[in-house]
């Protein structure tokens, strides 16, 4: 299959390589020419503009946020250049409102649109072990399933309205950030009582919270290993903010999310935005006078 891929960050570059490994023909674009040229060495065709991808059967985008997707897909002229019957798979974590807008814009041009945000950090992307949350028309989903199969271990289907996949992803990231924030506060608490946070983390991740999110992020907290940021604190702030906006749109109060957003904003304000989400523990430590 001929695939056009936009966005070659920590996640996107690994995903594009896995599509090449699966035997697909891949054209790539990224704002950074260096990233494009690196993928070209692996067998991809580097393109100078997003519009140059318009001949692909399937377009895959893995970009940072609403603004990046709008700029690269819509404002660039790529969407307008796509022939009818092309399918765009947007794997970014974007707002529910923007996902709905994109679906309408694609439908107006006869272009398929699938929302397929992912669960997993860069190491899981490299290993093609992502969990993929997908929503869109059944025919479009069936057409792009070979692409998704090359990127993850399972595709979780959530209806025909693409924005529903984004709602699920925002709910997941809210839960994830809540877990990390809780471990951060609890670590500061036990440290205040003269105990080692690393010992506490080992206990809970071996017993009551023996699950990947707690073990992975808990290990980062225990080691105070916040750089490089696999999932940056600033992106956590963005996602929790999007979850709050989506909750307000359907009149669902989210008081825990509001508190969590304040902590994330505090971390970003203190200069930790490029650190890993696990750096929420630094926010708690500073609040306790130990940062």
Instruction: Give yes or no: residues 187 and 88 share one domain.
Output: no
The residue among 125, 160, 195 that closes a domain is: 160
Instruction: Give yes or no: residues 33 and 152 share one domain.
Output: yes
Please tell me which residue in 21, 129, 169, 232 is annotated as part of the active site: 169
Instruction: Give yes or no: residues 183 and 138 share one domain.
Output: no
CATH number of the domain bearing residue 30 = 3.40.50.720
pLDDT value at residue 196: 97
The contacts of residue 65 (CB under 8 Å, 6+ apart) are 92, 93, 94, 238
pLDDT value at residue 290: 85
Instruction: Give yes or no: residues 23 and 133 share one domain.
Output: yes
Instruction: Give yes or no: residues 148 and 193 share one domain.
Output: no
Name the residue range of residue 15's domain.
2-160
pLDDT value at residue 274: 97
Of the candidates 25, 20, 33, 23, the residue with the CA atom closest to the CA atom of residue 8? 33
The answer to whether residue 238 is catalytic is no
Do residues 103 and 78 make contact, with C-beta atoms less than 8 angstroms apart?
Answer: no
Whether omega for the bond prior to residue 228 falls within 30 degrees of 0, making it cis, is: yes
Instruction: Give yes or no: residues 8 and 123 share one domain.
Output: yes
Instruction: Give yes or no: residues 146 and 178 share one domain.
Output: no
CA dist 49 → 53, 73, 76 (Å): 8, 10, 8
Instruction: Give yes or no: residues 153 and 173 share one domain.
Output: no
Give the whole-angstrom CA distance, residue 137 versus residue 143: 10
Torsion sign, CA atoms 24, 25, 31, 34: positive
The number of residues making up the chain comes to 291
The contacts of residue 13 (CB under 8 Å, 6+ apart) are 35, 38, 39
Give the whole-angstrom CA distance, residue 162 versus residue 185: 35
Instruction: Give yes or no: residues 12 and 79 share one domain.
Output: yes
Instruction: Give yes or no: residues 36 and 90 share one domain.
Output: yes
- Residue 137 CA from chain centroid, whole number: 22
- The CB density around residue 122, as the number of other CB atoms within 10 Å, is 18
Per-residue pLDDT tens listing for the chain (291 residues): 999 999 999 999 999 999 999 999 999 999 999 999 999 999 999 999 999 999 999 999 999 999 999 999 999 999 999 999 999 999 999 999 999 999 999 999 999 999 999 999 999 999 999 999 999 999 999 999 999 999 999 999 999 999 999 999 999 999 999 999 999 999 999 999 999 999 999 999 999 999 999 999 999 999 999 999 999 999 999 999 999 999 999 999 999 999 999 999 999 999 999 999 999 999 999 999 987
CATH number of the domain bearing residue 184 = 1.10.1040.10
Reported in sequence order, the residue ranges of 138-251 that DSSP labels E, i.e. its strands, are 152-157
Q: What is the DSSP letter of 195?
A: -
Instruction: Give yes or no: residues 153 and 14 share one domain.
Output: yes
Of the candidates 55, 54, 59, the residue with the CA atom closest to the CA atom of residue 12? 59
Instruction: Give yes or no: residues 20 and 150 share one domain.
Output: yes
- Work out how many domains the chain is built from and give that number: 2
The residue among 160, 179, 207 that closes a domain is: 160
Give the whole-angstrom CA distance, residue 8 versus residue 15: 8
Burial class from Cβ neighbours inside 10 Å (0-12, 13-18, 19+) for residue 250 reads: exposed
The residue among 143, 160, 177 that closes a domain is: 160
């Amino acid at each position: 299959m001929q695939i056009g891929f936009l966005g070659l960050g920590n996640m996107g570059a690994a995903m594009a390589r896995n599509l090449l490994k699966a035997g697909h023909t891949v054209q790539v674009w990224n704002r950074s020419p260096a990233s494009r040229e690196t993928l070209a060495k692996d067998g991809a065709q580097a393109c100078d503009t997003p519009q140059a991808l318009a001949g692909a059967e399937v377009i895959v985008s893995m970009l940072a946020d609403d603004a990046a997707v709008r700029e690269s897909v819509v404002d660039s002229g790529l969407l307008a250049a796509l022939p009818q019957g092309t399918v765009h798979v947007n794997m970014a974590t974007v707002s529910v409102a923007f996902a709905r807008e994109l679906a309408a814009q694609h439908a107006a041009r006869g272009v398929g649109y699938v929302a397929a945000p992912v669960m997993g950090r860069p190491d899981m992307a490299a290993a093609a072990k992502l969990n993929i949350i997908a929503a869109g028309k059944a025919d479009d989903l069936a057409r792009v399933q070979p692409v998704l199969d090359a990127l993850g271990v399972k595709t979780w289907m959530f209806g025909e309205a693409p924005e529903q996949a984004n709602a699920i992803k925002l709910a997941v990231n809210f839960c994830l950030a809540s877990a990390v924030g809780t471990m951060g506060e609890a670590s500061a608490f036990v440290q205040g009582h003269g105990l080692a946070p690393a010992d506490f983390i080992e206990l809970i991740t071996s017993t009551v919270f023996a699950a990947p999110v707690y073990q992975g992020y808990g290990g980062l907290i225990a080691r105070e290993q916040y750089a490089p940021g696999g999932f940056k604190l600033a992106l956590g702030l963005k996602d929790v903010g999007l979850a709050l906006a989506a909750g307000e749109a359907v009149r669902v109060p989210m008081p825990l999310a509001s508190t969590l957003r304040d902590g994330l904003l505090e971390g970003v304000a203190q200069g930790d935005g490029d650190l890993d989400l696990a750096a929420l523990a630094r926010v708690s430590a500073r609040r306790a006078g130990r940062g």
